Structure 1
Amino acid sequence: MIIRTTYFYAPGEAFSREKVFLDSDEAHHLVNVLRAKEGDEFFVTNGMGELFRCRLTKYHKKGAVGEIVEKVQSEPEPSLNLTVGVGVIRSKKLETALDWLVQLGVSGFVPLLTDFAVKKFADPERYLERMQKIAIRAIKQSLRTYLPRIYPVMDFLEFLKRHGQDYDGIIYADPDGVPAPPRRMRQNRARIFAIVGCEGGLSSRERSELAEYDAVPLSLGVARLRTETAAVVLATKLFVWSGDI
């Protein structure tokens, strides 16, 4: 039997020349949920664009071992390297936004503490681990091979100060924005940072700071969207614009 309905994930260090080790969570999914048996084949990605067809050789409580049968053709990278920052909202909605964005193919995700953020995190490190697990689950389900970078919860202006110069362009959702990004941002592997605020949008202070980075306001249409919906619409619009969808 070959399992084709989902991919499995293992970090680069879990691979040797001929074998891959799946941790307990991945092994449980493979053996106890999908009922794989020794000799069955499955696909494993390292989250860096590579995919391997493997054969199950061993299973125990701590994990499973697969023999690498072949390296499958690598997935091409999207022409747009898109990181999406989303103003912190209720956890379930933020996690939904992350799940959908990873399925679309974003390269990065940042939960942003904006002026209108509705939630603080008592244990940011634990929440980061949870978000990383959601991202892994999303690439497996959507049959993608690139695992996006998940940033810790960060203050919006602090993130701009640290990383604003890393991008070829910054875009933020705005009801009065332009209908499409400028042509200057349309280059192969352009690094774009796209921002969606909370339900209250971005504050005047935050907009002023964005102007210092020549950020472009982009309209998402006339409808009033929830934050998690707006994040997906923004990413979809940019991927259509870049030709990745």
Structure 2
Amino acid sequence: MPHRYFTRELADGQAALTGSDAHHLANVMRARPGEQVVLCGPDGLEYTGTVTAILPGRVEFSVSEGAPSKAEPDLAVTLFVGYPKQGKLEEIIRHSVELGVSRIVPFFSRYCVAAPKKEDVKNERYNRIAAEAAKQAGRAVLPRVELPLARFSDVCGALAGYDKALFFYEGGGEPLRAVLAPGSARTLALITGSEGGFSPEEAGAAAAAGAVTVGLGPRILRCETAPLAALTAAMLLTGNLE
């Protein structure tokens, strides 16, 4: 299977890789002119790239006509996830990208155990993890991990831009089958909590912001399990795991 790379330098039948990806292809994979890779551009399409030149810090290609990726869902999901402790966010990022998430937004809320610390540095690592997972899963779109939101009110303020927002509450709510079906939304926000869960006030604020309160069954899930269960269920109910 050809190696997969993401690039923003792609136009008019030409493309290029720079930085660590160019180093990997040229020096680790020892590519030569004429070899082919899969290139994914900012338009979300896949291209077959044929190496035309290997330069210091740069690999250049001619590219085929772009085609849609079968790996991309027809639903753009943003996962708003309560910031967990002890590196669990890396696990959530890796697996949610494999499952088809489009964007991950961590947030701090009243009962978060974790506290902000060097978030700029950690965000660089988080986005590297997302890129690695996207390549492994055959994605054509590179999901983005945003810097964390400082307050739950910031999450509520961001929900107006989505066709549908679902607030996963340990107190229960509507069954997912009642609110999700194929074609029911093109943009979807999923909101799950940290180890401490949500306060009643936060649950009320989410509902006031237009989120539908839903549950994930009678069992209490860990904070690193709930977002993956929610995302899997959303993909299944909208026909994106077929």
Per the normalisation by structure 1, the TM-score is: 0.86
Map 1:146-185 to 2 at 5 A: 146-175=141-170, 176-183=172-179
Residue 79, structure 1, aligned to residue 79, structure 2: no
Residue among 173, 195, 203 paired with 1:199? 195
Residue 244, structure 1, aligned to residue 234, structure 2: no
The number of residues matched between the two structures is 239
Q: Flag the 1:60–1:235 CA change in 2: closer, same or farther, 3 A.
A: same
Amino acid of the structure 1 residue aligned with 2:150: D
What residue number does 1:235 align with? 231
Map 1:54-69 to 2 at 5 A: 54-68=49-63
Q: Flag the 1:47–1:147 CA change in 2: closer, same or farther, 3 A.
A: farther
**Aligned residues of 1:78 and 1:189 also touching (Cα < 8 A):** no
Q: SS where residue 159 of structure 1 aligns?
A: helix
Q: Flag the 1:183–1:97 CA change in 2: closer, same or farther, 3 A.
A: closer
Q: SS where residue 121 of structure 1 aligns?
A: coil
**Aligned residues of 2:13 and 2:65 also touching (Cα < 8 A):** no
What residue number does 1:221 align with? 217
Q: C-alpha distance in 2, partners of 1:61/1:92?
A: 36
Q: C-alpha distance in 2, partners of 1:181/1:142?
A: 27
Deviation at 1:50, TM superposition (A): 0.8
What residue number does 2:14 align with? 19
Per the normalisation by structure 2, the TM-score is: 0.87
Residue 140, structure 1, aligned to residue 124, structure 2: no
What residue number does 1:124 align with? 119
What residue number does 1:7 align with? 4
Q: SS where residue 97 of structure 2 aligns?
A: helix
Q: Flag the 1:90–1:32 CA change in 2: closer, same or farther, 3 A.
A: farther
Amino acid of the structure 2 residue aligned with 1:7: R
- 1:156-214 deviations in Å (ceiling 9; x for gaps): 43423431211222212234233325348764543221111011211122112112124
Q: Flag the 1:218–1:135 CA change in 2: closer, same or farther, 3 A.
A: same
Deviation at 1:53, TM superposition (A): 0.7
Deviation at 1:17, TM superposition (A): 1.7
What residue number does 1:30 align with? 25
Query: Percent identity, aligned pairs only?
Result: 26
Deviation at 1:122, TM superposition (A): 3.3
> Cα RMSD between the aligned structures?
2.3
Amino acid of the structure 2 residue aligned with 1:204: P
Q: C-alpha distance in 2, partners of 1:79/1:57?
A: 34
- 1:71-130 deviations in Å (ceiling 9; x for gaps): 242126523221111111136310110111111111221011111222233333333332
5+ residue gaps, structure 2, are: none
5+ residue gaps, structure 1, are: none
What residue number does 1:102 align with? 97
**Aligned residues of 2:83 and 2:112 also touching (Cα < 8 A):** yes
